[in-house]
Amino acid sequence: MRGNQIRKGFGMKISAYAAKKAKGALEPFAFEPGRIRENEVEIEVTHCGICHSDVHMLDNDWGMTAYPFVPGHEIVGTVTQAGPAAGHLAKGDRVGVGWQASSCGSCEWCEKGCETCCRKNIGVIVGRHGGFADRVRVDGRFAFPIPETLKSESAAPLLCGGITVYKPLRDLARPWSRVGVIGIGGLGHFALQFARAFGCDVTAFSTTPDKDKEAKRLGAHHFVCTTKGGLFEKLAGTFDLLISAVTADLAWDSWMGLLRPYGTLVVVGASPGMIQVAPFSLIVGNRGVRGSVIGDPHLIREMLGFAARHKIGAEAEVLPMSQANEGLQRVRESKARYRIVLKR
């Protein structure tokens, strides 16, 4: 019985790296996890990606960080304990965990398979400790078996960064779609790979001219340097789907002009400021602007299988967990090409 895997009493302390204040450096930290719940699994962390959301949470940019704060929500590891209500997972299974740790399981949205919309959804690093640690616990519904062909360091960033761009492509792209990816960074490099695998005609947009060859290697058919003039005139009415994967304030109305009728601009990068778009640019051509957030459990399982079949994964720099501060700084300064993954 799976319940026999639960240790009696309280578990051993979890060793982690935590910040004591906003923008503070991570320091060694230990905490008592308490008894494992019936629906939980405990995972021995082997790899954990660094997402820009970890930086936002560390700095309390979104006003919801509790300290001490242990970052990390792109986790791959091995199940060490499983509660009786997490019976689909067993000790020794290699699993991954993304942004979400739990949901209520019974509301309108959970019953529809839209757990990300649950008002009681819980983030792995929101009010709880994340994966910059030797172990982590989550609701078993949010721990996903990793296909054998995916390396752990390539799979970990898929669980947040990868699913973030997979979902809007799955919703809106078709094999004949013309897709533009704005920003070839952590999110953008996933978007190029997935869009190419979907069979789309793919254009990469970047402010960095020397990313031309890399963008095409990752899946782009075309490359456009956005610092050169005339792009909005030359490419007007070209794209069915634009994915904004940057955290910069863009000339949103100009980008809307690149869409074909019924085209959509999807925002996945947490850009500052306001999105200002002329109503007429939406009305004419039935164009739209929408956001997209991570993905529900069934989509994450689907994405992992798709990534394994098409050999899609993160291009990652691997650092030891002890260098978590250095890794965070590289992400903060946008120096990662294209993701940083910590290894225990």
Q: Write out pLDDT tens, residues 304-319.
A: 999 999 999 999 999 9
Do 319 and 343 form a contact (C-beta atoms < 8 A)?
yes
pLDDT for the residue 11: 57
Q: What percent of the chain clears pLDDT 70, i.e. is strictly above it?
A: 97
- pLDDT under 70 in the chain at which residues? 1-11
Amino acid 9: pLDDT: 37
Q: Which helix (H) or strand (E) holds 164?
A: helix 161-172
pLDDT value at residue 335 = 92
Domains of the chain: 2-160+295-343 (3.90.180.10), 162-291 (3.40.50.720)
Q: How do strand 27-31 and strand 75-82 relate by DSSP bridges?
A: unpaired
Q: Of the candidates 171, 223, 224, which has an alpha carbon nearest to the alpha carbon of residue 194?
A: 171
pLDDT for the residue 229? 87
Peptide bond preceding 68 in cis form (omega within 30 of 0):
yes
Using an 8 Å Cβ cutoff, are 52 and 330 in contact? no
